[in-house]
A and B are shown apart, each in its own frame.
Chain A
Amino acid sequence: MFPTPIERRSAALQRMYKTALPFAMILWLLPLIAVALTSIRSAGDITAGNYWGWPTSFNLIQNYSDIFTNTPLGSYMWNSVRVTIPTVIGTLALSCMSGFALAVYKFKGNMLVFFMFVAGNFVPFQILMVPVRDLTLQMGLYNSVTGLALFHIAFQTGFCTLFMRNFIRSLPVELIEAARVEGVKEWRIFWFIILPLMRPAIAALAVLVFTFIWNDYFWATVLTQGAESQPVTAGLYSLNGQWVAAWHLVSAGSIVAALPPVAIFFLLQKHFIAGLTLGAVK
């Protein structure tokens, strides 16, 4: 087996590994540690240039309550929820159906439609910036949670359809054929036979799409502005004051904003990894 597992290496090498590992970990986590440390500093510490030293005072409770009472972080978080949850539900609903259609039915242009879904994934989304902004403006959806969610649903459906179609393809065709022989209607086959079997794929995709959308910064800044519609990733910047950049509050806000996807990742870690590898090997 390559690489040789560490427990089968020599004792000296094992010791080296064990001492090097914590160092490497701290080095990798240094930026995160800095953010966490900054989030409990006082504003005075930051002005005095004390970025890495021991904080002169610990303002854990003060900073974290400040961001909710003195800044619109709460409404930014709520906007993120209002964008992310409908996107996850909408994308999964659409891609389950389109995946089912593309995997089960043989019709003219099946491959063409499928390739279009796949090709959509290869379009760099930055080039869509101006047309999509104009489109949402003309539809009256600019600067609204609905507009942002609709765009995410449309864009994520491509990838999810590819994923779902391949997953359904790997299910035994005999299940569907047997049901058809029994005279079960097509939509009942989808609902009662295929959908329950797709649960692992749905779970995996839900976790994946949730983190994608929650962490999206680009479209949040392009399609929304202001506390009434902007998600937290884009809203963090406005925690700064007119003159003074309140890095301690921005850091605290970043940590709060990062909690939901991190929590989801740890709770559903199994599905997340499955989502990345599902369909990768036959």
Chain B
Amino acid sequence: MISTFKTTIASLAASTILATSAFAGELVINTDTSDPAPKAAFEQLIADFEAANPDITVKWNLFDHEGYKTSIRNFLTADAPDLANWYAGNRMLPYVNAGLFEDVSDVWEENGLNESLASAAGSMTIDGKKWGVPYTYYQWGVYYRKDIFEANGIEVPTNWDEFKAAGATLTAAGVTPITIGTKYLWTAGGVFDYLNLRTNGYEFHMALTKGEVEWTDQRVVDTMNNWKELIDAGFFLDNHTSYSWQEALAPMVAGDAAMYVMGNFAVAPLREAGLTDDQLGFFQFPVINPDVPLAEEAPTDTLHIPANASNKEDARKFLAFLASAEAQTKINETLGQLPINKDSTVGDDKFLQAGYAMLSSTDGGIAQFFDRDAPAEMAKIGMEGFQEFMVKPDRLDAILTRLEKTRLRVYK
């Protein structure tokens, strides 16, 4: 009796193991694309993949954003799917170092991705190997109120002096040049990224976020001094520390502020709030140091194979499919973002077109974003420092000394 009971338990356990682990021909994908548009984009992508590969069925687990950040650590080690989405650059570094992501350089080789996805190749490479396939990115830059610029006779500024002059004209007209909400810090990180990229260039910026350069370096001080010029000239919205990025949109909608250094996701809420494309424009962050090649910021979303995945063969097929020009065209049309494959077509939206034109001609390099390029702890303390600097620019020395201390501790 007891033995039959034991076998029942054993077979029950065995069948549950079978049920949870993927059998051949089933591909398990975990993503955090739970917003309506990304969700629809993935639904479409998976349906297309299944149509092209009738012998493979996809099991798709959808997570919400916040939960995913902690869930991914659990499932990569304990119950790995065959594919999981994540982000390029330093955000994937901990998982690569921990041996949790699979090297997919072979997928890149076989499908010619080194050419077609060239613009994001750098941010997908660690130790000379590729660790995933990027499928979408979006540009950062300056979004501005075209009608306010025109009313004040301001041309789109292309260099630092024009930019400062434009700000002075706006201030004289009673308009805050740049709106920003630094309550959640990262917006200040975006401004710092651009100032540093324009002052010292991509190589230096990457060395800094990788912890190879001292924060007290003169070149960082130069960047901060450029920032200080803007702060002293009253460029930024008052009381910005009490607004989220979203609340800081309101002055721009109302016409009290004219520019926003932001990512392309700002366009949708601005349009919802009633701004037309005639009122809203986009320009590349102006040149500060003419000797530095222009680098841009374009955070990239990626798909990876966990090292513990069970169906890596089909997962590679999926990655190859995802990298194709048609798949990227389709997915980004739904997402309202930019495809990475250079043969894809870009959506018929003026901001997407502007971003595509800018990024595909970028030769200075593509940064991910301060909190993706720098390790989490450095990013947090760094961005707190930027926020403090924006309120009390005189404390520059103390702030940089603190960041330097953090660098010594974090990178070791």
Q: What is A's interface to B at a CB cutoff of 8 Å?
A: 42-49, 70, 72, 225-227, 237-238, 241-245
CA gap between A205 and B312 in the complex, in Å:
55
Nearest neighbor of A244 in chain B, beta-carbon distance = B269
CA gap between A72 and B35 in the complex, in Å:
11
**Contacts beyond the supplied A43-B269, A43-B272, A245-B246: 13 A-B pairs with Cβ under 8 Å:** A44-B269, A44-B273, A47-B246, A47-B269, A48-B254, A48-B273, A49-B247, A72-B34, A72-B64, A226-B63, A226-B64, A243-B265, A244-B246
CA gap between A245 and B65 in the complex, in Å:
12
| 25 A-B residue pairs with CB within 8 Å | A42-B272, A43-B272, A44-B269, A44-B272, A44-B273, A47-B246, A47-B253, A47-B273, A48-B249, A48-B250, A48-B254, A48-B273, A49-B247, A225-B70, A226-B63, A226-B64, A227-B64, A238-B67, A242-B35, A242-B265, A244-B246, A244-B265, A244-B269, A245-B244, A245-B246
Establish whether residues A225 and B65, one from each chain, have CB atoms under 8 Å apart when the complex forms: no
Pairs A-B, 10 closest by C-beta atoms? A49-B250, A47-B273, A44-B272, A238-B64, A48-B273, A44-B273, A47-B269, A48-B253, A243-B265, A225-B67
Q: What is B's interface to A at a CB cutoff of 8 Å?
A: 34-36, 38, 63-67, 70-71, 244, 246-247, 249-251, 253-254, 263, 265, 268-270, 272-274
CA gap between A47 and B70 in the complex, in Å:
30
CB distance from B217 to the nearest CB of A (A): 33
Interface centre among B65, B265, B270, B273 (most CB of A within 10 A): B273
CA gap between A225 and B35 in the complex, in Å:
17
CB distance from B126 to the nearest CB of A (A): 25
Q: Which of B67, B246, B250 contacts A226 (CB 8 A)?
A: B67
Nearest neighbor of B263 in chain A, beta-carbon distance = A243
User: Contacts A47-B269, A48-B250, A48-B274; is A238 near B244 (CB within 8 Å)?
Assistant: no
Chain B residue numbers with a CB within 8 Å of A227 are 64
Chain B residue numbers with a CB within 8 Å of A245 are 244, 246
Chain B residue numbers with a CB within 8 Å of A43 are 269, 272-273
Establish whether residues A237 and B269, one from each chain, have CB atoms under 8 Å apart when the complex forms: no
CA gap between A227 and B253 in the complex, in Å:
35
CA gap between A70 and B34 in the complex, in Å:
9
Nearest neighbor of B247 in chain A, beta-carbon distance = A49
Establish whether residues B273 and A226, one from each chain, have CB atoms under 8 Å apart when the complex forms: no
CB distance from A273 to the nearest CB of B (A): 39
CA gap between A142 and B27 in the complex, in Å:
26
Establish whether residues B35 and A241, one from each chain, have CB atoms under 8 Å apart when the complex forms: yes
Establish whether residues B254 and A49, one from each chain, have CB atoms under 8 Å apart when the complex forms: yes
Chain A residue numbers with a CB within 8 Å of B251 are 49
Establish whether residues B274 and A237, one from each chain, have CB atoms under 8 Å apart when the complex forms: no
User: Contacts A44-B272, A47-B273, A49-B253; is A238 near B66 (CB within 8 Å)?
Assistant: yes
Chain B residue numbers with a CB within 8 Å of A49 are 247, 249-251, 253-254
CA gap between A225 and B263 in the complex, in Å:
29
Establish whether residues B71 and A225, one from each chain, have CB atoms under 8 Å apart when the complex forms: yes
Interface centre among A43, A47, A225 (most CB of B within 10 A): A47
Chain B residue numbers with a CB within 8 Å of A70 are 36
Establish whether residues B274 and A238, one from each chain, have CB atoms under 8 Å apart when the complex forms: no
